[in-house]
A and B are shown apart, each in its own frame.
Chain A
Amino acid sequence: MRIQTIVSLVLAAFAAGACSKLEEKPESFLVTEQFYQNQNQAEAAVTANYRKLYESGQSLYNSLFQIGVEMATDDYEAGPRARNAHVRAISGLTHDASNDRMEQLWKQSYDGINTANIAIDRIALIDAAKIDAAVRTRLINEAKFLRALHYFNLVRWFGPVPLVLHETTSLSAENLYVAKATEEAVYQQIITDLTDAEKLPKRATYASADLGRATSGAAKSLLAKVYLTQKDWKNAVLKSKDVIDNEGYALFENFADVFAVATKNGKEHIFSAQFKGNSGYQGNSLASRSAPADVPGINGDYADALHAAGKLYESFSASDTRRTVTFVTEIVSPVDGRLYKLAAPQFHKYYDESVVGNQGQSSKNLPIIRYAEVLLIYAEALNEDNNGPTDEAYRAIDEVRQRAHITKLKDIAPALSRNAFRDSVFQERRKELVFEYQRWFDLARRGADYYVATLKAAGKTMAAPKHIHFPTPQREINLNLKLKQHPDWLN
């Protein structure tokens, strides 16, 4: 009896003890199920989308474009301190499907796309009482803009790619294994998303606290570039003209202001990756990657270097105000005060004078698309569409040239052929957009012959027609049997 009493007491204690829960309730994490319920959370979801432009380390718009893409052009090479074999392989055009920088391009872009898909799918489901209708539409369209930007990069780098348009919510086969869509289908989706994103507010209607978000002007400008890449000249003309006429952008009078911290998100900036050093946040790492390494106190990495044989520096005339903003040829050491001449010009666009010696904290934004480029898109598309340059085409390119204090093209070559004008526009793009992640795209979209000839002329003798695309990462092909290598990259 005594035993029974004790046994039942102990059993009761057991039962009581078992009451505490085994469910996991993380206190320092949120989980998906409890999130995406109201406007604040919808905004946070879209903020995350923007961060996927460059998340951490060597990330898309914070140096990965440079080391994973631009190295494969006539203007750039792996600098003296770029020791990574994968980077040097791209620079020397010996990269293959296992190149880890290229894997990162693919991986980070799809990460950005999934994050955009989450925002697009989930914000649409938020209870109408918990979110303002206009904000809902705006946030979804911001995500669509970013999704389109990632797909636009992917289709240009890799050609046909899987087109994933919804969040990965489970490990089902249809979520895991997606075949490639045709380039046409990818472009169609990009156009659809950007057309929706055109409904975003204009730059002027955003509050100053929202500067940096995608705008209707950004969507239209990117769309103009998409049409241009597709050689849909008519639409490229229409869209770029729409931006020029209706969105209220203009060039800075002074080219240096394009990259000045004080004039961030100014009238010329249409869409930029935002950086802020020394704030517990992140700086633009191109600044330190291009800064001199051997000058005392500068502490640069000098990993992203000018490819001298491409003669980019020499292509600038001495009067061109862009040259001194773009390059540095001598620099004063903050340690000994001496002026050091550099062995070769080094890129200087993102060098932040307020953080000498610690360029990792450069606060300079990286333009993704800016008004000068829209003018050049307009000039190029007009020339192609009209089988030769129109006056308006000349006016567009000369607006860019005048700002740089070089002679108007109209004055030196008023009657260029279609081909010659095209060359002029590309040459202008090359000089205007140095170190802005544009060169590889410009070379690749002119076709394999042009790309190979240009690179060979610049001494990169390994260049081959297949290099106007990157190989689909071998890892992806191994994991997803539905995926095939790009035909140019099949041995």
Chain B
Amino acid sequence: MQNLAKASRAIHALAFRNRYVLRSSVIATLFFLPQLLQAQSKPLINSTLRGRVTDARTKEPLAGASIKIEGVTNQTQTDAEGRFTLITGQSFPYNLLISSIGYQDVKVTANGSPLTVELTEAANDLNGVVVVGYGTRKRGDVTGAIASVSQAALKQPVSSLDQALKGAATGVQVTQTSGQPGGGVSIRIRGGASIQGGNEPLYVVDGFPLYNSAASTGALSGTPTNPLASINPADIESVDILKDASATAIYGSRGANGVVIITTKKGKADRNNINFETSYGMQTVRKKIDVLGAKDFAILRNEVLYSTTPAAGKYQYLSQQQIDQLGEGTNWQNAAFRKAPLQSHQLSVSGGSAKVQYLLSGNYYKQEGIIKNTDFSRLSLRANVDARPGDHLKTGVSLAISGSKANIAPSGIIGSLLIMPPTATIYEPDGSYTLRNPFENIFANPIATLNETSNKSNINRLLGTAYAEYTIARNLAVKVLAGADVSNQKDKYYVPSAIYEGAGPKGTASLGSSNYNSWLNENTITYNKSFGKHAIDALAGFTQQEATNESFIAGAQNFVSDDLTYNNLGSGATLVRPASDTYSWVLHSYLGRVNYSYNNLYYLTASIRRDGSSRFGKNNKWGNFPSLAASWKISNEDFFKPLLKHVTDLKIRSSFGTTGNLEIGQYQSLSTLYSLNYIFGGSILTGFAPNRVPNDNLGWETTYQYDAGIDVGLFSNRLLVSLDAYYKKTNDLLLNVEIPWTTGYASSLQNFGSVENKGLELGIKTKNIVRKNFSWETDLNISFNRNKVLTIGNGASSYISGNYVIQVGQPLGTFYGTITDGILQTGEETAKGKFTGSATPKPGDRLYKDVSGDGAFTTAADRAIIGNAQPDFIYGIINNLSWKGFDLSVLLQGVYGNQIINSNRQTLEMFTGQQNASVTALDRWTETNPSTTIPRAKLDPAPIFSDRFVEDGSFLRVKNINLSYALPKTLLTKANLTAVSVFVSAQNLLTFTKYTGFDPEVTSGSNVSPGTDSGIYPVAKTFNAGLRVSF
């Protein structure tokens, strides 16, 4: 650990936080490298070989393939037309080793010119391609830690890609923040490192970097839709997840949370294809929560009222006779949950020639929610075109347009469904809605809310990149890429006067609109060259990205009629103050990377990115993010040859470097003013006051990461094992440090404190059975991460935030609460009454542990650490079986060792008689049932968070089963079809968990308080069937 600390200090020294301009020196070095390297002495010529390398299937020329003479250092590369010339001191015949990224290596004997070699595309194993930042690499040559998501995971019927990542790769924890159609997920790559800043990874879609931050314009109620849901998952070819510093440092100040690289499908030359895929599914809620029926509730309420005012008797709510006449009452959950259909239709056309390849696709996706009146639909179109207009020029465009619409569940609806009394009705006898909980004002009739509230969000998005790459010289290419992400969101909200929330204001309408506009320009230059046993490829570039967001919101109340909803704000008698906002940010970056390899044995990668961000304080605008990685392919060593029979591949690798996190929003370093109004002489005047103390030193969070890994391929790579260990330390955390209120402010954003994550990741891929008609492959991943807060600055060792504590030595997401200690029994009032937290203790009150040991219990003083949201490990197992035309894939996903705060349950165990309660109320303490675990019913129990509401969140679930059958080719050729398959699938079919809430796959999504299940829209269980046809 001490060495690590030293190393991190050394890296820190490298990462000049500002002031020094590295730019010129780094870039100059990279640029003049070519000239330096060309100055070699000429070899003796004995033979000249001319040839061509092509794709075995498409016959397309392969540029950049390397041609190497076995046993000597001489090698060359193919040009844009796949041609090469090898001038060598060797005489024919000699053996050539030909390789190209994405293709299987080939060994041929050269007998003379011309020579044509065909390469076959590699399957997704060690020869496969991995998309890295600003380029691709052969998996076997990668020095960093990169996980590729399997096709089995990508084929799930999900509304957005991030949902497909569950259990699909090592080191990636994916948790649902809302099960609403089009709802969001929270992703942690190698643990969360930030407390206040963003923890979500950077996504790079066809070269365009973006964050997936959902935003409501403020007009809506509830969780806004997930912006990634605007990208059609069916268009995605591959997903590569960059995890260690070597892989992510090229993304600099945005790399610390990992990077998810998404590449969409492209057309292939001479493979003209029309694909049609359609599927239809049905979703249900996994389980419902058991709450009291009408009779039991009435008894509870009578009991509460009696204990509050004994003088008024035991039947203050309903008489025994009335109770006897009650039926089951209203089942609010049944009234809201439903079976909900899901459908997706996709048509794509792809193909092309050697010069131009294209892919066009259109998709319609519609998912109804398992809660009434919630849904998500998306219509998307994509055009990906690549062209080669000249020998030296390559150009292409990747463009997607989508329109999505969602009906969103109003906030608080789940909680409301649980606690509405069963004796309340949905409708009054006259058919109008019952307005609210008859006993408590703030809880409106949730069914009326669901049915009558309009809560819609429409997003139209255009996301695209275009590039041109010009080969200046054989080894030198310049690429210019431009991209744009334009997103228009419109939120529409209306609460009619017929329901409780709308009755007071006589209808409330609001409209919000936001336009997000981000553009990108990247200019890179690449150089690659092999000389002798040395191979080098280098990248340098300058990129700039800017984004602007403009939004406004307007509203009105007091409508004569509910018919016009939000469509005519002017007709509301009362106008709600409108608001508008705009922000922008700029990021300028210089980047450079050199990959060097020696004789396919030793690989080195060095990279650096220098980022200048508008978001930071004026003293701290620029930062440098270097990384260094090395790997050694031991299996290519001569001494290893005897072992090759068993061990096909063996590689060790190691990397370290720094990355940053700048996700703090805009203008946080400035003392910005906000407007606030007051009335003089009956008119409104605008005033201004600052909302924070300025902090000129505000900077990014810096993560130092060390990674060591080993990749082993056994038995002709039928067993691939990949093991990574990492240590990540994040310094200068962006923390909203609480400051005394006497300053006039509650907190101030400062760079304070540090957090560490360390862990192990193990991935195993096996080809268990490989036969002509039957194959079985297994892909297993398991990841362990340990998170710990090291310092939180200001000399503080902990701070409490609601039910959580951030404490030095403890992980983030640590629950802080009281510890229950049984129930106060009759006769114990004087001895134990002071441990109830109640001023007037009565038998049946809950007892708590006196943690502080001061002889009495108070909520403030007697809290302890009672759980944690961090899992011990997460895992996924994918099994793929194929037999003749059948393919079966089964994805199991699991999380072990985390806890969940079941906040819904805390509310349901209040037993106030004002709102419904959990069925545990049936075992509550009464004089005749002196329970030792469940307290008595009372009107005003203090809402004390205790260990009772902390539950084991471990689960193992059958995340996805997919069975497909491909019709035999013989049948198809007559019908002129290429392929036809039918499939059935199920998501979340089985879940094994002790968690008592709707679903264990929940989190509140916040950094400080992950793992709280409070009214979260539950994840559905889905059955799906579909058809795929290719022409």
Contact = CB atoms under 8 A, between A and B. Distances in A.
Interface of A: 2-3, 6-7, 10-11, 13-14, 17-18, 20-24, 26-33, 35, 41, 43-52, 55, 81, 83, 85, 88-89, 92-94, 96-98, 103, 106-107, 110-111, 113-115, 117-118, 162, 164, 167-171, 175-178, 207-213, 264-265, 274-276, 278-281, 293, 297, 299, 301-302, 357-358, 360-361, 462, 473-476, 479-480, 483, 491
Nearest to A279: B684
Given A3-B472, A171-B739, A211 B685 contact: no
A17 B679 contact: no
Contact of B544 (A17, A41, A97, A114): A17
A81 B31 CA distance: 73
Contacts of A462: 839
- What are the 7 tightest A-B residue pairs by CB atom distance, in nearest-first order? A114-B744, A47-B687, A48-B687, A280-B577, A48-B689, A209-B681, A98-B860
Interface stretch (B613-621, B637-645, B808-816): B613-621
Contacts of A169: 693-694
A486 to B, nearest CB: 15
Interface string B912-925: 00100000000000
A24 B615 contact: yes
A381 to B, nearest CB: 32
B441 A301 contact: yes
A28 B679 CA distance: 23
Nearest to A483: B740
Interface stretch (B136-144, B252-260, B394-402, B666-674): B666-674
A374 B204 CA distance: 69
Given A23-B614, A96-B858, A171-B739, A85 B503 contact: no
A29 B523 CA distance: 33
Interface stretch (B71-79, B452-460, B581-589): B581-589
Interface stretch (B2-10, B745-753, B973-981): B745-753
Contacts of B682: 211, 264, 276
Contacts of A33: 671
Contacts of B940: 85, 88
Contact of B860 (A48, A96, A178, A293): A96
B671 A32 contact: yes
B577 A47 contact: no
Contacts of A98: 859-860
A280 B576 contact: yes
Contacts of B669: 24
B676 A55 contact: yes
A274 B580 CA distance: 26
A177 B796 CA distance: 14
B523 A6 contact: no
A263 to B, nearest CB: 12
Contact of B574 (A115, A278, A480): A278
Given A162-B742, A276-B679, A358-B504, 6 more contacts: A3-B35, A11-B31, A23-B614, A27-B583, A176-B740, A357-B503
16 contacts: A2-B473, A3-B34, A3-B472, A13-B542, A14-B27, A14-B590, A20-B546, A28-B582, A29-B670, A46-B687, A50-B678, A51-B689, A209-B680, A357-B506, A475-B741, A480-B740
Given A27-B582, A357-B503, A45 B689 contact: yes
B905 to A, nearest CB: 18
Contacts of A360: 504
B522 to A, nearest CB: 11
B390 interface: no
B40 interface: no
Interface residues of B, number: 87
A6 B472 contact: yes
Contact of A209 (B590, B683, B750, B839): B683
B560 interface: no
Contact of A10 (B525, B544, B590): B525
Contacts of B34: 3
Contacts of A35: 673, 688
Nearest to B695: A171
A7 B940 CA distance: 76
Interface in B529-587: 542, 544, 546, 558, 573-577, 580-584, 586
Interface of B: 27, 31, 34-35, 440-442, 472-473, 476, 478, 503-506, 521, 523, 525, 542, 544, 546, 558, 573-577, 580-584, 586, 588, 590, 612-615, 618, 621, 666-667, 669-674, 676-690, 693-695, 738-746, 748, 750, 839, 854, 858-860, 914, 940, 942-943
A475 B747 CA distance: 12
B688 A110 contact: no
A93 B442 CA distance: 25
Nearest to A93: B839
Pick from B558, B683, B685, B860 the residue with the most CB of A within 10 Å.
B685
B577 A281 contact: yes
Nearest to A162: B742
A297 B497 CA distance: 11
Contacts of B472: 2-3, 6
B750 A171 contact: yes
B304 to A, nearest CB: 13
A51 B676 contact: yes
B667 A26 contact: yes
B505 to A, nearest CB: 6
A274 B743 contact: no
Given A6-B472, A18-B588, A475-B738, A299 B577 contact: no
Contacts of A111: 741, 744-745
Contacts of A14: 27, 523, 542, 590
Given A26-B667, A98-B860, A114 B743 contact: yes
B679 A115 contact: no
Contacts of A26: 583, 666-667, 670, 672
A31 B672 contact: yes
Pick from A168, A210, A302 the residue with the most CB of B within 10 Å.
A168
Contacts of B504: 299, 357-358, 360
Contacts of B473: 2-3
A171 B558 CA distance: 46
A17 B521 contact: yes
B744 A168 contact: yes
A211 B742 CA distance: 30
A49 to B, nearest CB: 7
A302 to B, nearest CB: 8
Given A168-B743, A357-B503, A357-B504, A29 B679 contact: no
Contacts of A175: 743
B676 A274 contact: no
A177 B743 CA distance: 9
Contacts of A44: 685-688
A33 B672 CA distance: 9
A212 B679 contact: yes
Contact of B503 (A20, A117, A299, A491): A299
Contacts of B573: 278
A29 B667 contact: yes
Contacts of A29: 667, 670, 672-674
Contacts of B860: 96-98, 474
Given A6-B478, A10-B523, A264-B682, A17 B588 contact: yes
Given A7-B31, A32-B694, A94-B839, A48 B676 contact: yes
A47 B678 contact: yes
Nearest to B30: A7
A299 B435 CA distance: 11
A428 B562 CA distance: 49
B681 A30 contact: no
Contacts of B672: 26, 29-32
Contacts of B690: 32, 118
Contact of B740 (A2, A49, A297, A476): A476
B618 A23 contact: yes
B26 to A, nearest CB: 12
Contacts of A7: 31, 525
Nearest to A491: B854
